[in-house]
Amino acid sequence: MSVRQSLLAILDQGPCYGYQLKHEYDRRTGATSSLNVGQIYNTLERLERDGLVRRGEADERGHVYWQITDDGSLEVARWLASPVVRSTTTRDELAVKLAIAATLPGIDVAAVIRAQRAESLARLRTLQQTSYSGETAGGPEELAWSLVMDSMLSAAEAETRWLDHVEQRLSEHSGTALPLATERPRRGRPARVGGA
């Protein structure tokens, strides 16, 4: 998720102060991934450092309004015109956990999968039962919320299908335990010799 570009895109609509940005972000994402105000101000300071926004004067209530610069508007246009490129490597904790568990001796991988499936199905049921609770039913805020919820539902459904796939793949392999390699890698931290 790009907090940086999201805040810039909102600021491209007009000047906002920090909490107002939080409110606008929540409205536009269905409040499914809310930001804290500290994160917003840290991001604004980095955007200012990079010349993409500038800090305005405080109003009578002490709100400092941030404005996008021309470079910031160009950054928004580039972001919106560019596809999101998914990584070809995984940092997905579940995928890594199951890959490691499948190769460790003495691990009941089926039990690991059952526990995960129970959690994944519970999350899927919760998402399926979640309904829009905003004030403007049928409007752009509900549309934004539903787009994010549809994505979360699709991901949860895909995860349960993937767990079925993993279970099937493991049933086709006997003896998946992988012992430590006897050949040691050439690279690594050399042993310390002597004191200090």
Q: What is the pLDDT of residues 64-107, one digit of tens each?
A: 999 999 999 999 999 998 888 777 776 788 988 998 888 888 88
Q: Across the chain, what does the average pLDDT equal?
A: 87
Q: How far is CA 55 from the centre of its chain?
A: 28
Taking residues 174-195, what's their average pLDDT?
A: 73
pLDDT for the residue 194? 66
Domain ranges of the chain: 3-81, 93-171
| pLDDT exceeds 90 at position 30 | no
Nearest to 67 by CA among 4, 17, 5, 3: 17
33 or 108: which leads in pLDDT:
108
How do residues 3-17 score in pLDDT, each as one tens digit?
A: 899 999 999 999 999
pLDDT at 162: 95
State the pLDDT at residue 117.
95
* pLDDT-derived band at 32, boundaries 50, 70, 90: low
> Mean pLDDT across the stretch 126-154?
88
Tell me if the domain spanning 3-81 has CATH number 3.40.50.720. no
- Mean pLDDT calculated for residue range 50-71: 94
